[in-house]
Structure 1
Amino acid sequence: MPLINLLPGAVYAIVASVGNNNYLTQADRYGLMAAILDDTLSEDERKSVDRLLRAVMRGRIQVIDELSVIN
Protein backbone atom coordinates (compact mmCIF):
# COMPACT_ATOMS: atom_id res chain seq x y z
CA MET A 1 0.00 0.00 0.00
CA PRO A 2 1.43 3.42 -0.94
CA LEU A 3 2.36 5.82 1.82
CA ILE A 4 -0.17 8.66 2.10
CA ASN A 5 0.91 11.89 3.79
CA LEU A 6 -1.41 14.73 4.67
CA LEU A 7 -0.04 18.20 3.97
CA PRO A 8 -0.09 20.54 6.98
CA GLY A 9 -3.19 22.73 6.91
CA ALA A 10 -4.78 20.68 4.12
CA VAL A 11 -8.04 20.01 5.96
CA TYR A 12 -8.66 23.69 6.61
CA ALA A 13 -7.74 24.55 3.00
CA ILE A 14 -10.27 21.99 1.74
CA VAL A 15 -12.94 23.32 4.11
CA ALA A 16 -12.29 26.89 2.89
CA SER A 17 -12.40 25.83 -0.76
CA VAL A 18 -15.64 23.90 -0.33
CA GLY A 19 -17.12 26.79 1.62
CA ASN A 20 -16.47 29.11 -1.33
CA ASN A 21 -17.48 26.72 -4.13
CA ASN A 22 -19.97 24.24 -2.62
CA TYR A 23 -18.31 21.30 -4.38
CA LEU A 24 -15.55 18.75 -3.83
CA THR A 25 -13.01 18.09 -6.58
CA GLN A 26 -11.04 14.88 -7.01
CA ALA A 27 -8.04 16.57 -5.38
CA ASP A 28 -10.21 17.51 -2.39
CA ARG A 29 -11.42 13.93 -2.09
CA TYR A 30 -7.86 12.58 -2.09
CA GLY A 31 -7.01 15.13 0.59
CA LEU A 32 -9.95 13.96 2.69
CA MET A 33 -8.88 10.34 2.20
CA ALA A 34 -5.40 11.21 3.46
CA ALA A 35 -6.94 13.04 6.41
CA ILE A 36 -9.12 10.08 7.35
CA LEU A 37 -6.08 7.78 7.26
CA ASP A 38 -3.94 10.18 9.31
CA ASP A 39 -3.65 9.11 12.96
CA THR A 40 -2.26 12.49 14.03
CA LEU A 41 -5.31 14.54 13.01
CA SER A 42 -6.47 16.96 15.68
CA GLU A 43 -9.99 16.73 17.08
CA ASP A 44 -10.97 19.97 15.30
CA GLU A 45 -9.67 18.66 11.97
CA ARG A 46 -11.51 15.35 12.45
CA LYS A 47 -14.75 17.23 13.19
CA SER A 48 -14.24 19.37 10.07
CA VAL A 49 -13.83 16.27 7.92
CA ASP A 50 -16.95 14.75 9.48
CA ARG A 51 -18.97 17.93 8.77
CA LEU A 52 -17.85 17.94 5.14
CA LEU A 53 -18.76 14.29 4.65
CA ARG A 54 -22.14 14.81 6.33
CA ALA A 55 -22.85 17.77 4.03
CA VAL A 56 -22.01 15.63 0.99
CA MET A 57 -24.34 12.88 2.19
CA ARG A 58 -27.16 15.41 2.68
CA GLY A 59 -26.65 16.86 -0.79
CA ARG A 60 -25.46 20.30 0.33
CA ILE A 61 -22.06 19.82 -1.31
CA GLN A 62 -21.74 18.60 -4.87
CA VAL A 63 -19.05 16.08 -5.86
CA ILE A 64 -17.52 16.84 -9.26
CA ASP A 65 -15.15 14.76 -11.40
CA GLU A 66 -12.73 17.60 -12.16
CA LEU A 67 -9.23 17.19 -10.74
CA SER A 68 -9.24 20.82 -9.69
CA VAL A 69 -11.00 23.98 -10.72
CA ILE A 70 -9.25 27.31 -11.13
CA ASN A 71 -11.45 30.27 -10.29
Structure 2
Amino acid sequence: MMQSTPKLLPDAIADIFVSASKTRLLAETDCWGLQVAVSDGSLDEQTKLAIARLFRAVRRGKIQLAAA
Protein backbone atom coordinates (compact mmCIF):
# COMPACT_ATOMS: atom_id res chain seq x y z
CA MET A 1 0.00 0.00 0.00
CA MET A 2 1.38 3.38 -0.99
CA GLN A 3 1.37 6.12 1.65
CA SER A 4 0.47 9.58 0.51
CA THR A 5 2.30 12.58 1.91
CA PRO A 6 -0.05 15.30 3.16
CA LYS A 7 0.11 18.45 1.05
CA LEU A 8 -0.62 21.99 2.17
CA LEU A 9 -2.99 24.02 0.08
CA PRO A 10 -1.17 26.60 -2.06
CA ASP A 11 -2.21 29.59 0.07
CA ALA A 12 -1.93 27.73 3.39
CA ILE A 13 1.74 28.56 3.92
CA ALA A 14 1.13 32.28 3.39
CA ASP A 15 -1.92 32.14 5.67
CA ILE A 16 0.09 30.39 8.42
CA PHE A 17 2.87 32.97 8.09
CA VAL A 18 0.44 35.92 8.31
CA SER A 19 -1.46 34.42 11.24
CA ALA A 20 1.72 33.64 13.20
CA SER A 21 3.04 37.15 12.53
CA LYS A 22 -0.16 38.75 13.82
CA THR A 23 -0.86 36.51 16.82
CA ARG A 24 2.71 35.52 17.70
CA LEU A 25 1.43 31.93 17.95
CA LEU A 26 2.06 28.92 15.72
CA ALA A 27 -0.09 25.83 16.15
CA GLU A 28 1.85 22.60 16.53
CA THR A 29 -0.10 21.11 13.64
CA ASP A 30 0.92 24.03 11.41
CA CYS A 31 4.53 23.54 12.49
CA TRP A 32 4.41 19.87 11.48
CA GLY A 33 2.74 20.77 8.18
CA LEU A 34 5.47 23.29 7.42
CA GLN A 35 8.18 20.75 8.24
CA VAL A 36 6.58 18.24 5.86
CA ALA A 37 6.29 20.89 3.15
CA VAL A 38 9.99 21.77 3.48
CA SER A 39 11.08 18.13 3.38
CA ASP A 40 8.85 17.50 0.36
CA GLY A 41 11.25 19.47 -1.85
CA SER A 42 8.58 21.04 -4.03
CA LEU A 43 8.67 24.56 -2.56
CA ASP A 44 10.24 27.55 -4.27
CA GLU A 45 13.18 29.30 -2.64
CA GLN A 46 11.14 32.29 -1.43
CA THR A 47 8.69 30.05 0.40
CA LYS A 48 11.52 28.04 1.98
CA LEU A 49 13.09 31.27 3.24
CA ALA A 50 9.76 32.44 4.71
CA ILE A 51 9.36 29.14 6.57
CA ALA A 52 12.95 29.35 7.81
CA ARG A 53 12.27 32.86 9.16
CA LEU A 54 9.17 31.57 10.93
CA PHE A 55 11.09 28.68 12.55
CA ARG A 56 13.87 31.09 13.54
CA ALA A 57 11.29 33.33 15.25
CA VAL A 58 10.03 30.28 17.18
CA ARG A 59 13.57 29.36 18.27
CA ARG A 60 14.19 32.92 19.44
CA GLY A 61 10.94 33.02 21.38
CA LYS A 62 9.31 35.74 19.28
CA ILE A 63 6.59 33.28 18.24
CA GLN A 64 5.26 30.65 20.66
CA LEU A 65 4.09 27.15 19.77
CA ALA A 66 0.47 26.59 20.72
CA ALA A 67 -1.05 23.16 21.35
CA ALA A 68 -3.63 22.32 18.76
TM-score by length of 1: 0.79
State the Cα RMSD in Å: 1.5
1:4-43, aligned counterparts within 5 Å?
4-43=6-45
Consecutive unaligned residues of structure 2, counting only runs of 5 or more, are none
Deviation at 1:8, TM superposition (A): 0.9
Rounded Cα–Cα distance in structure 1 between residues aligned with 2:22 and 2:8: 22
- Please give the secondary structure, in 2, of the residue aligned with 1:41: coil
Q: Which residue of 2 aligns with 1:54?
A: 56
Kindly provide the CA deviation profile for residues 15-52 of structure 1, in whole angstroms up to 9, marking residues without a partner as x.
01101100111232132123212211011100000000
Runs (4+) of structure 1 moved beyond 2 Å?
Answer: none
Rounded Cα–Cα distance in structure 2 between residues aligned with 1:33 and 1:4: 11
TM-score by length of 2: 0.82
